Structure 1
């Protein structure tokens, strides 16, 4: 009987030991790990921060896109205004160009009409000149190179003014010499002859009786005109020199008229 009891008592002790070990193992399995908790918390925080960063980037990009769209709209509006202004300027230039073209055509037409009228008048002048040269000079006049000349009578002599008066009474004026041939012809008649040249209106400005200025000085004698004693304001030609010479206008010489 006693052996059996010990055996049972021994079994109960083993069970107690096994139960305590099981309890201890159970308690060890439920103990929390602090490093795992920190990693989880950090992951949650990073995820939250990442979401905030993403939202910030999205918001910034949205604002930038809206700002860029507004800027593009303003630029587009400005370009449209500039385009319209350029179109208006182009249209104005077209109108001005068309008006200028019309004015140019009108001026060209007027010029053509005036040119035609000028040519017609020139033909009439040429015809009159031709008819004049065909007609002989009046009695007492001498013909030379299609012109008619009147020379004072032999032994007649007058001042420059009276000589011119005599020419005007015949519907002419003192001779105007334009060529060397004409100078040789006029100067060959008398020893000294008055011609229609003077600087009576302005000293040093020699003018012909028709108001034209004397061009060039090739017909003057060497050293002339010299206005000796400030009294030489009229021109004469001599047979010997066959050149112009200034002398006092009150001297008396023969004269030559030109029709």
Structure 2
């Protein structure tokens, strides 16, 4: 028994000191370690892949969220721009409608104005036609009147007709008669008119007086005396002689101031134009 035990112990020592010569160690033990190592390595790779896939998923999710937010903002912006464009378009349409309405009103007013102008033009032409007829008739009547006046004692001179009376009246009565036939006592403003008045060779009243203000002679139309043909020394009657008369008609300077209440012949003047 002691010998067997020693051998066994020696065998164990030998195996310990010569591990490579030990043929009794199972070869399957080394394969199990290799499998375990491979399994650990695969697990590690799985974990790394899982983490990478998770990170990639998070990155993709973030990108999707960013794109979605960006699209939402862009959509809101486009919606606002579309609303502004619609509003602008509506304003333009409203302005266009207003302008169209204003244009139509102006066109209507223009048409009405043209119609009125046409009517006025036609009426003007008719009035011109009537006026021409009236002017022609007036000329005929005027010519006939002038002829009649010449026939009844009126004489034409420089656009006026003159009548000398055959009877005698006071200065005021003479003027009243002249006014009753559309005339007045004669006014003399030129040498030619003075010579024409003298040509009647009649002692007669003319339309000159200072009855309103002594010494301030004026004609019956209210105009002041500027050119005079007083006889030398005249006027000299002061307040007693306030009416003008032609007395010494044989000379150019033939005027005299006479008493207005005296009766004389007179000369009327009627403007023809």
Interval of TM-score (by shorter of Structure 1 and Structure 2): 0.5 to 0.7
- TM-superposed CA distance for 1:198, in Å, is 9.0
Task: Show the counterpart of 2:41.
Answer: 29
Task: Show the counterpart of 1:225.
Answer: none
Query: How has the CA–CA distance of structure 1 residues 39 and 169 changed in structure 2, closer, same or farther, with 3 Å as cutoff?
Result: closer
Task: Show the counterpart of 1:77.
Answer: 90
Task: Show the counterpart of 1:257.
Answer: 268
- TM-superposed CA distance for 1:39, in Å, is 5.3
Q: Which has more radius of gyration?
A: 2
Task: Show the counterpart of 1:226.
Answer: none
Partner SS for 1:55: helix
- TM-superposed CA distance for 1:101, in Å, is 1.5
Matches within 5 A, 1:74-223: 74-134=87-147, 137-138=150-151, 141-145=154-158, 147-151=160-164, 158-159=170-171, 161-168=172-179, 172-176=183-187, 181-186=192-197, 194-195=206-207, 220-221=226-227
Query: CA separation in 2, counterparts of 1:87 and 1:172?
Result: 66
Partner SS for 1:257: strand
Query: CA separation in 2, counterparts of 1:153 and 1:131?
Result: 24
Query: CA separation in 2, counterparts of 1:129 and 1:20?
Result: 157
Match of 1:47 among 54, 60, 64: 60
- TM-superposed CA distance for 1:53, in Å, is 0.5
- TM-superposed CA distance for 1:51, in Å, is 0.8
Tell me the TM-score normalized by structure 1: 0.61
Residues 172, 257 of structure 1: 8 Å contact kept: yes
Aligned length: 233
Unaligned 5+ runs, structure 1: 223-230
Residues 204, 265 of structure 2: 8 Å contact kept: yes
Task: Show the counterpart of 2:3.
Answer: none
Give the alignment's Cα RMSD to 1 decimal: 5.0
Unaligned 5+ runs, structure 2: 1-9, 229-238
Match of 2:73 among 53, 60, 66: 60
Residues 174, 185 of structure 2: 8 Å contact kept: yes
